[in-house]
Structure formats: structure tokens, C-alpha cells
Structure 1
Amino acid sequence: MKYPKQGDEFKMNMYFVQHGIALAKEADPDRPLSPEGRREVECISAYLKKMGVTASRICHSGKTRAEETAQIFSDQIGDGSIYKLLGMEPKDSVKVFATLLESNDTMYVGHLPHMEKLISYLTTGNEDAGVVKFANGGVVCIGSDGENFYIEWYLKPAICNV
């Protein structure tokens, strides 16, 4: 996938997040964030804010745990708004979803295996390459120079020690 160059330089970042730790289905069929999951996501989002990261748009799959995760990030590094986006279910096609990606510092909050396969597809062209192993609440920043996608950085909730 290529993006048109704008001027002499083109640079964009996208942020991919696996939702925070959720309650077990037996405890709550909607699987909202657990208290631990909420604490980890709050910590990571505050850390990103401290780093100066902002997201122009934050999208989620529509599942409760992803929506709650997205809202926590939006309250810290966004404008408080979140958007449900189709194509982010765990087994949805990453090739189709990759055509829907927006530039300008957009964050996508979703699920496994979709997020891991998407990162592999963007960076190698092979969704099964196993480029990254997500942790709940983890954030992968993907950069692009207009020609290629690459991993800028990856943050795991373990950095918070919560």
C-alpha cells in the first residue's frame, strides 16, 4: 500500500492497540475491562500523553472492551470522541481493513489475532509473518514514509508496574 507524497517529505503514524484486559465471559457476557485492565490502559494512555503523543481520531471495533479502551485513550490523547469502525473483529480480513486505514495519527483499538496479523501485513506484506506479539493494552506505533510501513515503537503495560 502506498500513500501519495505531500511535498518533499511524507510522514505519518498510526497507533494500534489491543484492548485492555477484560472480565471473563462467565463474569459478564459483555466482557468490559477488568479493574486491572482499566488501570493498565489508564497508565499507558497517561504515559503517551506525557510523551506528547496525540491521536486525531480513535476508532474501535464496537465490542465493549475495545470501546472502553478507546475512550480512555481518547480522554488522554484525543478529543474525547471515539468511532466504531467495521472490519476490526478478531477474524476480519486484514487485507480489506488495510485499505480503510487513515493517516494523520489515527488510533485503532481492536482484538487478536486481527491486530497482530495487521501489523505483520503492513510491515511485510504477509499477515502470518508474526512481526509483533501484542499484550493487552499494548500500543504499536506504525510509521510510514509514503512507500513503506515500519514499527516506530511498541509500548507494553508492564512499563507501568500497576
Structure 2
Amino acid sequence: MAIYLVQHGMTVPKEADPRRPLSDEGREEILSVAEHLKKMGIAVPQIYHSGKARASETARILSDRIGNGEVHEVTGMNPMDDVTLFTSSVRNDAMYVGHLPHMGKLVSYLITGETENSVVRFIFGGVVCVEKDRQGYHVQWYLRPSMCTDQPHGSSE
């Protein structure tokens, strides 16, 4: 049973739009990530997001490719929200789309029991797969948008 934690895609500058929706590049990167996840055989029945435009848009793109087309807004996922309160609502076989520093602290708390231990360095559009066994949670893999290109690794073209 996996939990997928995603940092929203790249956004437009706050000066251009205070809601900070995804930029064109951000949409393209998330689409690329979604297609890569689909090729990996990833499918998630539930995708949750913070409610902010950038997280909602990221969740919708992902849901169209690897979900059931539905996304759900949840409380407790804003950048400065307390992860220790949020973890009680985390479900297996679900994806959560949120923001820094919340997502980094969430992974840290699940893995180490502390919010300040750095476990993963999130970037825009990054996805962390966390699985739980009898010993607790473990990071299974981390996917960055740059890993989702069709070019062979090491190619500069």
C-alpha cells in the first residue's frame, strides 16, 4: 500500500496572478510526470490537494492520467499547517498534492517521527512514494520531472 506525496508544479509569479496557478512550464512538467507514472503502472483511487489553485490544478492533471478524474480538497495541507495533526488522516493508496514546507515535513514525520529531519528534497512536480510495513514508513522512490523525458539518460539533445 503506497502513499504518493507530490509538490505542486511550477507556478506563475505572484505579481502576475496572486492565486499562483501553474505556469505553462509547470503544466507541461506535471503532464510529463503524470504520463511517466502511468507508464510505471501507477493508479490511485483518491487524489487530495490543499485547495490552493496550484495544488488543485496539479491534482487534476494527475487524476486525469492516473486517477479516476476526481480530486478532493482537504484541510491541513497548507504550507505552514501542522503535519502531526494531518498524519492521522493520511490514507494508503492515495496521492496528496501540497506545498513546501508541509510536504517535506510530512515525509520526514512519516519516516523518522520528527518534522525537522530532512528526508527528501522536494522540487516542483516531484513525487515521493512512501510505503508502510510492520516497521513503519519507508521511502520507496522519488521521481523528479527531469527524470520523465523521452531522452536517454546522459543525452544533451
Q: 2:12 aligns with which of 9, 23, 28?
A: 23
Q: Which runs of 4+ in 1 moved over 6 A?
A: none
Describe the shift of the 1:146–1:82 C-alpha distance in structure 2 as closer, same or farther (beyond 3 A).
farther
Indicate the residue corresponding to 2:66 in structure 1: 77
Q: 2:133 aligns with which of 120, 145, 158?
A: 145
Q: CA deviation at 1:161?
A: 4.4
Distance in 1 between the 2:57 and 2:19 partners? Answer: 11
Indicate the residue corresponding to 2:148 in structure 1: 160
Instruction: Give the conservation status (yes or no) of the 8 Å contact 2:42–2:66.
Output: yes
Q: How many residues align?
A: 150
Deviates more, 1:146-155 or 1:67-76: 146-155
Q: Which protein has greater RCO, CA pairs closer than 8 Å, 6+ apart?
A: 1
2:34 matches 1:42: no
Indicate the residue corresponding to 1:128 in structure 2: 116
Gapped runs of 5+ residues in structure 2? 151-157
Q: CA deviation at 1:56?
A: 1.1
Q: Deviations over 1:16-49 (max 9, x none)?
A: 0000000011001111100000000000000000
TM-score by length of 1: 0.90
2:121 matches 1:97: no
Distance in 2 between the 1:139 and 1:156 partners? Answer: 7
Q: CA deviation at 1:160?
A: 2.9
Tell me the percent identity: 51
Distance in 1 between the 2:80 and 2:137 partners? Answer: 22
| Aligned residue runs from structure 1 range 7-22, under 5 A | 12-22=1-11
Amino acid aligned to 2:118: G
Q: Deviations over 1:57-113 (max 9, x none)?
A: 00000000000000000000000000000000000000000011111x100000000
Amino acid aligned to 1:142: V
Distance in 2 between the 1:15 and 1:160 partners? Answer: 17
2:75 matches 1:86: yes
Gapped runs of 5+ residues in structure 1? 1-11
Amino acid aligned to 1:84: E
TM-score by length of 2: 0.93
2:48 matches 1:59: yes
Alignment RMSD, CA only? 1.1
